[in-house]
């Protein structure tokens, strides 16, 4: 059996998830690119990885649907022999003052971000092989408290809590569990609806005076998912250029 590490990456068709899938593949992992609606984008990620000599397949799964997620992990085990790395990059964001937020939208955000993370983490906890890693995605807004991000920050606060609990529950398994909390990052999701002045203001907040890139976040995730990063466990890494 190959000793190649196998990664399952949800939300792997675009943005930060795409960068994570590509970076893990470049580091030698076989990658299952999870997606929900973007089949063509997921296929493009797979084609890019395989064209460079890597190994990847795509798998459609709503992360909040435990049956679909189990099938995605089944695909990883059937195709590549097991699962070592689990990254939940699928997420949903809705910006609104708390006083004005439609509660149906709150439920939708929490379904994807809380339930979805829980389902992915649960499956990862059941299947990850010794030496493996589970990485969740939070947000630095949990600490920054930007107005308008109440529902999103609340959901990601829950992600951080379950991540730290799971790290302790997996005592003796030799599987790490960490969260990465990006700051403002130049993805389509982040840039949507913001004018140039707002983007420039956010870019000036870190001491490094720029927005993060998907590659910045992917490098942090790849380190935590690697044998070299295995001593980091039960942590929230705020990858935000130094915003406090």
Number of compact structural domains in the chain: 1
What CATH number corresponds to the domain at position 11?
A: 3.40.50.720
- Residue 196 falls inside a structural domain: no
- Residue 82 falls inside a structural domain: yes
Please state the pTM of the whole predicted model: 0.95
**pLDDT value for 81:** 97
**pLDDT value for 82:** 98
- Residue 187 falls inside a structural domain: no
Give residue-wise pLDDT tens across range 2-51.
689 999 999 999 999 999 999 999 999 999 999 999 899 999 999 999 99
- Residue 27 falls inside a structural domain: yes
The structure tokens 């302790």 sit at: 168
- Residues labelled as active-site residues: 152
201 Cβ neighbours under 8 A, 6+ residues apart: none
CA distances from 215 to 56, 110, 170 (A): 19, 26, 29
- Residue 28 falls inside a structural domain: yes
- Residue 122 falls inside a structural domain: yes
**pLDDT value for 191:** 82
d(CA 48, CA 30): 13
d(CA 206, CA 219): 18
- Residue 193 falls inside a structural domain: no
**Range of 33's domain?**
6-181+217-237
**pLDDT value for 244:** 74
Report residue 65 as tokens: 């649907």
Give residue-wise pLDDT tens across range 111-147.
999 999 999 999 999 999 999 999 999 999 999 999 9
d(CA 171, CA 154): 27
Radius of gyration of the chain (CA): 17
**pLDDT value for 2:** 62
d(CA 54, CA 82): 17
| Cβ atoms of residues 169 and 125 within 8 Å | yes
- Residue 204 falls inside a structural domain: no
Give residue-wise pLDDT tens across range 78-100.
999 999 999 999 999 999 999 99
CB contact burial 151-178 (16+ within 10 A = b; e otherwise): bbbbbbbbbbebbbebbeebeeeebbbb
């Amino acid at each position: 059996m190959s000793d190649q590490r196998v990664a399952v990456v949800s939300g792997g068709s675009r943005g930060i998830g795409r960068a994570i899938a590509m970076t893990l593949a470049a580091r030698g992992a076989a990658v299952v690119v999870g997606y929900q609606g973007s089949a063509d984008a997921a296929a493009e990620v797979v084609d890019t990885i395989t064209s460079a000599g890597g190994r990847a397949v795509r798998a459609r799964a709503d992360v909040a649907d435990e049956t679909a997620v189990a099938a995605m992990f089944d695909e990883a085990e059937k195709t590549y022999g097991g699962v070592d790395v689990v990254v939940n990059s699928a997420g949903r964001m809705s910006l609104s003052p708390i006083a004005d937020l439609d509660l149906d939208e709150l439920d939708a955000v929490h379904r994807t971000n809380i339930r979805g993370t829980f389902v992915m983490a649960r499956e990862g906890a059941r299947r990850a092989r010794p030496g493996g890693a589970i990485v969740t995605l939070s947000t630095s807004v949990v600490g920054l408290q930007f107005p308008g991000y109440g529902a999103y920050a609340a959901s990601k606060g829950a992600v951080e809590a379950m991540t730290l609990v799971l790290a302790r529950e997996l005592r003796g398994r030799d599987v790490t569990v960490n969260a990465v909390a990006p700051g403002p990052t130049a993805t389509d999701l982040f840039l949507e609806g913001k004018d140039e002045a707002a983007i420039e203001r956010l870019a000036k907040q870190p001491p490094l005076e720029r927005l993060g890139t998907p590659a910045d976040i992917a490098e942090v995730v790849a380190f935590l998912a690697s044998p070299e990063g295995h001593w980091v466990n039960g942590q929230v890494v705020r990858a935000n250029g130094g915003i406090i």
